[in-house]
Structure 1
Amino acid sequence: GVQVPGEVVPVTGRQLPSIRLILNNGPIEVDRSRSNFDRITRSRFVVSSADIGNDYTVICEVADRPKAAAFMEAAFRVGPACGINIGSSGTIIELTSGRAESYINAINNTNSRIVVCIMATDSKDKYDAIKKHCCIQRPIPSQVILKRTLSNPARMLSVVTKIVMQMNAKMGGELWGVHIPMQKVMYVGIDTYHDSGSARSVGGIVASMNNSLTKFYHRTTWQPSRQELISQMDVVMTDLLRMFKEKNTDYPDRILVFRDGVGDGQLLAVKEIEIRSIK
């Protein structure tokens, strides 16, 4: 008994303004029709560069050394052109085996500030093992690349540009910012991670440290298992404010908190415990 109209009903909607990106050489309006950043990634556009230089290591199998060398040469061509400080003389470590353990041993034996791993095959287990090791056992920024990604000479510079941009961001460099109307605001995000196999949960709190929202500071707290509320919020917020003042010589005028992970039944508890602790 349901009848569906044959014509689409027109409605009046809100049209959002164009996004303005803040680059090193001034603001730019994003072209929505193109939906890409090709014309932006030129002419030393990055807001700030991490000091990568030649202090990076490329890890690959012996047969892929030419691709590692080609990557470093391309990185030196595109990086400085974008305003990113990266050289062409990073270290190359050759592996006789493509196992995850070989990559991990090589990572342990390097003193570079960032590692680039070129994998011959698309192995999720190997990728996960490398990333887990670089996040937990040997904290170091890492970039994992598939060999086939570097196999097309016609797209080499375009691909390496995107990789170098990721390396810069992971090491604290600022690629671009967005126009934020309100100034001197500290934006805070809060969530809690629960692992069914662990006796404890982890609370994560991250806060913006500048007006363009390109610098952040974070803290983590241990919680009793399945506890959603952050029990040490007063200590954490004090540390966030201390760091904000250290970076900006003054405290923020406003604090906007984005709280994830709580249901409607926990809102009162958040108000009575977390918000009170923040105040």
Structure 2
Amino acid sequence: MKEMSSYTHVGPNERFQQLNEFLNDIQKREEGRKELSKWQINLDKELVQLTGRTMKAESIIYKDRTIKYDPLEADRSRDGRSLAHLSAKNLDKWILIYSQRHSQIAYSFVDSLNKVCTSFGMRVDFSEMIELPNDRSKTFIRAIENKANPQLDLVCCILTNNRKDRYDAIKKVLYVDCPVPSRMLLSKTLQKPGQLMSVATKVGIEINAKLGGEIWAVQIPSKTLMFIGIDTNRDSQSRSSQMVGFVASINPTCTRYYPRVIEQRSTNDFISGLKSCMQNALQKYHHINGVLPAKIIVYRDGVNDLQLL
């Protein structure tokens, strides 16, 4: 991630310099000028300068403390990794599945997870350790089918590598056949020298969110605001249908959500499904807050205007 951030977290001065170098490079190269000339395109020698507004950093609200972060770094993870979460869900019943050669790192991970989650206000009971003779997909799936049940809080698997076919096969079982919250871990990530506690911290935060906990919040002026997110995903095997994901915030701090998934085979399916989602979300919001939201903000990805008419 550090190597990637050197390209994705480029500061404004560096970005300005890179764009200027790009413009100068095009102007100097004859082939570049010819290509632009074909399209009757002229590029200015300098970038357009505008007066912008610098936004103040938001205060991040945890259970016992409110923190601020440096907006120039846009990184608040270090400040909040040991603070108590707004609400924490205990991890009471869970299983950890791993191959025989990862036995030592599996026990070390459980110990580290227990330590870091204590500061979150989250109790982590010792997991049921399931050691497998090999790391084949079928072996993992067989273990999950034998052990997974609705009473489990989490199924965690330590995988040797990030092979997509194995990951997809395991996730399909945990989504469809044995619906239980899950977390996949790579053994090489857990084996990095001196990084286990840091990895366990990030995993612990994610697990609390998966279980329905509330990590942090920001100040939202309106207390009767609902955020809705809609996304679609088309099945690569069956082009005749697509799945629509719907989430709606249901509390004033927008840290709890009502989720739904609907299958869309036609525009009518989407409209009727969206209507049902909205009705249920508003009922849930009213049940928790005693009032309906005064304003609703919808974020949509992969959903065009015609689908919302």
TM-score by length of 2: 0.77
The correspondence of residues 63-212 of structure 1 with structure 2, limited to 5 A, is: 63-87=101-125, 89-110=126-147, 111=149, 112-195=152-235, 197-212=238-253
Report Cα offsets for 1:139-180 as digits up to 9, x if no partner: 111111111111134111111111111111111111111222
Question: Partner residue of 1:261?
Answer: 302
> How far 1:100 sits from its partner (Å)?
1.2
Query: How many Å separate the matches in 1 of 2:297 and 2:74?
Result: 30
Of stretches 185-194 and 64-73 in structure 1, the one that deviates more from structure 2 is 185-194
Task: Specify the alignment match of 1:275 in structure 2.
Answer: none
User: 2:52 corresponds to which residue?
Assistant: 13
**Counterpart-to-counterpart distance in 2, 1:259 and 1:150:** 36
Q: Distance in 2 between matches of 1:43 and 1:22?
A: 10
Kindly tell me: are residues 257 and 32 of structure 1, through their superposed partners in 2, closer, same or farther at Cα, counting changes over 3 Å? Answer: closer
The answer as to whether partners of 2:62 and 2:83 remain within 8 angstroms in 1 is no
Secondary structure of 1:176's counterpart equals coil
Cα 1:226–1:26, aligned 2, differ >3 Å: closer, same or farther?
same
Of 237, 240, 260, which aligns to 2:278?
A: 237
SS at match of 1:81: helix
Q: Percent identity?
A: 32
TM-score w.r.t. length of structure 1: 0.85
Contact kept? 1:194, 1:225, Cα under 8 Å: no
Which runs of 5 or more residues in structure 2 are unaligned? 1-32, 34-41
Q: Give, in whole Å, the separation in 2 of the partners of 1:43 and 1:236.
A: 35
Gaps of 5+ in 1: 272-279
Task: Tell me what 1:49 maps to.
Answer: 88
Q: Find the structure with the greater CA-based Rg.
A: 2
How far did residue 217 of structure 1 move? 0.7
Residues 263 and 269 in structure 2, CA contact (< 8 A), matched pair in contact too: no
Q: Following TM superposition, by how much is the alpha carbon of 1:262 offset from its aligned partner in structure 2, in angstroms? A: 4.3
2:74 corresponds to 1:35: yes
Over the residues paired in the alignment, what is the CA RMSD in angstroms? Answer: 2.4
In the other structure, the counterpart of 1:61 is 99
State the secondary structure of the residue aligned to 1:154.
Answer: coil
> C-alpha displacement at 1:68, in angstroms?
0.8
Structure with the higher fraction of residues in strand conformation: 1
Distance 1:98 1:24, change over 3 A: same
Structure 1 residue 128, shift from structure 2 partner? 1.7
- After TM superposition, the structure 1 stretch with the greater mean CA deviation from structure 2, 64-73 or 238-247, is 238-247
| Aligned residue type for 1:180 | I
Distance 1:228 1:263, change over 3 A: farther
Higher relative contact order (CA 8 A, sep 6+): 1
CA deviation string 1:165-198 (max 9, x = no partner): 1111111111111222221112222344433515
Amino acid at match of 1:21: I
Structure that is richer in helix per residue:
2
8 Å Cα contact 1:51/1:85 also seen in 2: yes
- Do the aligned residues in 2 keep the contact of 1:58 with 1:92 (CA within 8 Å)? yes
Q: Give the total of aligned pairs.
A: 264
Q: Distance in 1 between matches of 2:98 and 2:249?
A: 36
The Cα of 1:201 is off from its aligned counterpart by 3.3
Instruction: Work out the CA distance in 2 between the residues paired with 1:17 and 1:228.
Output: 43
What is the CA distance between 1:232 and its match in structure 2?
Answer: 3.8
